[in-house]
């Protein structure tokens, strides 16, 4: 299917490790074609009008690890052949090639990342990039997924790596978007194409500098007090770094409790809301979309971007949902 693609191609991808590794795998496969890769404005799970205009003269567009709104996809599909590889929840977009086993009801444990889905699609052997996407999306939690964790452990043993090395690579790859460096995110997939060992990732100077800076900021934000209401943790932060998902994970995984984090410092007129839930968060993702917010996620995760004046009421609704027995 990829072999048939012709002309100029554009890869649009999530800014995280899974998105970067997904593109790394695609680029290797598309090496005979003329392609560029772009990530949306960091923090946006949609394309702006400007981006849509800019992206209107490609012959094919591949979207990786991102559940872009349907109207974005249909706009891209007016001039280009569009393929989507993803594992986020959402509706199937039947007008384009949409490879998303999760939407089709497959077991998420068998498709733990987009890099994994793409690697299967390409018929590749297990490799570092397929697995880094998995570790990026799940971190320690992947240890609860027997099947995949065994694959990771075997790979690590064969390649003289530890699970902690994998985690460190993920933190380094994620450091570009967290620090707000969109250009560096977009450069990463080609850099990885030229890297021949895991050590080259681990020793990348820029990513290591980012990593140190981010750790200082994350520690600072985690030290700030948070509230707990009926077993759900509510935490407000104010940071210009894109670390809300990291903060939410840390709080949720250390406490084992539902966690809702609000960041008032990333966008000028919008707040970021991020939730990790012990129950299925899908009804609230739908609710956020119905309210007209940019909102998405997976079963246990909700992310939303909400106009500042709407934050309180939406947070109240989510808290009610989370604390309801």
Q: Kindly state whether residue 86 participates in binding Mn ion, applying the rule CB under 5 A.
A: no
Task: Give phi and psi for 212, each to the nearest 5.
Answer: -65, -50
> In this structure, how many other beta carbons lie within 10 angstroms of the beta carbon of residue 256?
9
When the beta carbons of 65 and 271 are compared against Mn ion, the nearer one is 65
What sign results for the dihedral spanned by CA atoms 260, 266, 268, 270? Answer: negative
Q: How far is CA 320 from the centre of its chain?
A: 27
**Closest CB to Mn ion among residues 10, 301:** 301
Report how far residue 193's alpha carbon sits from residue 201's, in angstroms, rounded to the nearest whole number.
11
* Cβ proximity to Mn ion, 132 vs 319, nearer residue: 132
Residue listed under structure tokens 């849509």:
52
Site for Mn ion contains 18 (CB under 5 A)? yes
In the complex, the smallest distance separating the C-beta of residue 309 from Mn ion, rounded to whole angstroms, is 31
Rounded least distance, CB 173 to Mn ion, Å: 12
Task: List Cβ neighbours of 81 (8 Å cut-off, separation of 6 or more).
Answer: 5, 59, 60, 61, 96, 97
Coil vs helix vs strand at 279: coil
Q: What is the DSSP string of 47-79?
A: --HHHHHHGGG-SEEEEES----HHHHHHHHHH
> Closer CB to Mn ion, residue 20 or residue 322?
20
Beta strands in the chain (DSSP E): 8-13, 34-38, 60-64, 81-85, 97-99, 227-229, 232-237, 258-263, 270-276, 294-298, 301-307
**Contacting residue, 30, 65, 81, 192, with Mn ion by CB under 5 A:** 65
Nearer to Mn ion by C-beta: 142 or 322?
142
Q: Minimum Å distance from CB 320 to Mn ion?
A: 29
234 within 8 A of 226, measured Cβ to Cβ: yes
CB 131 within 8 A of CB 160: no
Query: In the complex, what is the shortest distance from the CB of residue 117 to Mn ion, in angstroms, rounded to a whole number?
Result: 9
Nearer Cβ to Mn ion (114/239): 114
Residue number with CB closer to Mn ion (18 or 139): 18
The one among 12, 37, 66, 137 contacting Mn ion by CB under 5 A? 137
**Which residue has tokens 């899908």?**
282
Number of residues forming the site for Mn ion (CB under 5 A): 4
CB of 16 to Mn ion, least distance (A): 7
Number of H helices, E strands in the chain: 13, 11
By beta-carbon proximity to Mn ion, the closer residue of 116 and 314 is 116
* Contact region with Mn ion (CB under 5 A), list: 56-64, 106-114, 121-129, 162-170: 106-114
**Nearest to Mn ion by Cβ — which residue?**
18
217 sits near Mn ion (criterion: CB under 5 A): no
Per-residue mark of binding to Mn ion, 111-130 (x: CB under 5 A):
---x----------------
Choose the binding region for Mn ion from 13-21, 149-157, 163-171, 306-314 (rule: CB under 5 A). Answer: 13-21
Q: How many CA atoms lie within 13 A of 167 on its CB side?
A: 11
> SS3 of 128, please?
helix
Q: Which stretch binds Mn ion (CB under 5 A): 14-22, 55-63, 282-290, 315-323?
A: 14-22
* Dihedral sign, Cα of residue 6, residue 10, residue 13, residue 17: positive
Minimum separation from the CB atom of position 232 to Mn ion (A) = 25
Between 73 and 102, CB nearer to Mn ion: 102
CB of 35 to Mn ion, least distance (A): 20
Residues that bind Mn ion (CB under 5 A): 18, 65, 114, 137
């Amino acid at each position: 299917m990829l072999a048939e693609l012709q002309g100029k191609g554009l890869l649009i991808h999530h800014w995280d490790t899974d998105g970067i590794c997904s593109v790394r795998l695609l680029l290797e496969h598309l090496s005979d074609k003329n392609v560029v890769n772009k990530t949306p404005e960091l923090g946006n799970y949609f394309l702006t009008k400007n981006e849509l205009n800019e992206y209107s003269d490609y012959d094919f567009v591949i979207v990786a690890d991102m559940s872009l709104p349907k109207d974005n996809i249909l706009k891209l599909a007016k001039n280009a052949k569009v393929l989507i590889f993803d594992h986020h929840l959402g509706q199937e977009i039947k007008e384009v090639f949409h490879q998303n086993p999760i939407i089709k009801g497959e077991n998420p444990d068998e498709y733990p990342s987009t890099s994994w889905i793409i690697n299967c699609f390409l018929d590749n052997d297990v490799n570092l990039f397929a697995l880094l996407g998995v570790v990026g999306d799940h971190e320690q939690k992947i240890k609860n997924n027997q099947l995949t964790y065994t694959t990771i452990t075997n790979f690590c043993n064969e390649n003289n790596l530890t699970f902690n090395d994998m985690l460190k690579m993920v933190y380094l790859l994620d450091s570009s978007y967290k620090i707000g460096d969109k250009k560096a995110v977009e450069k990463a997939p080609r850099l990885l194409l030229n890297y021949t060992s895991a050590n080259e990732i681990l020793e990348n100077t820029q990513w290591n500098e980012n990593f140190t800076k981010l750790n200082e900021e994350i520690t600072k934000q985690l030290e700030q007090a948070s509230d707990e209401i009926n077993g759900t943790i509510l935490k407000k932060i104010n940071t210009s770094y894109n670390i809300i998902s990291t903060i939410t994970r840390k709080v949720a995984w250390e406490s084992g409790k539902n966690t809702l984090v609000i960041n008032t410092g990333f966008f000028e007129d919008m707040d970021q809301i991020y939730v990790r839930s012990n129950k299925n968060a899908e009804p609230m993702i739908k609710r956020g979309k119905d309210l007209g917010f940019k909102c998405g996620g997976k079963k246990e995760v909700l992310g939303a971007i909400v106009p500042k004046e709407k934050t309180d009421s939406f947070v109240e609704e989510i808290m009610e949902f989370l604390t309801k027995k």
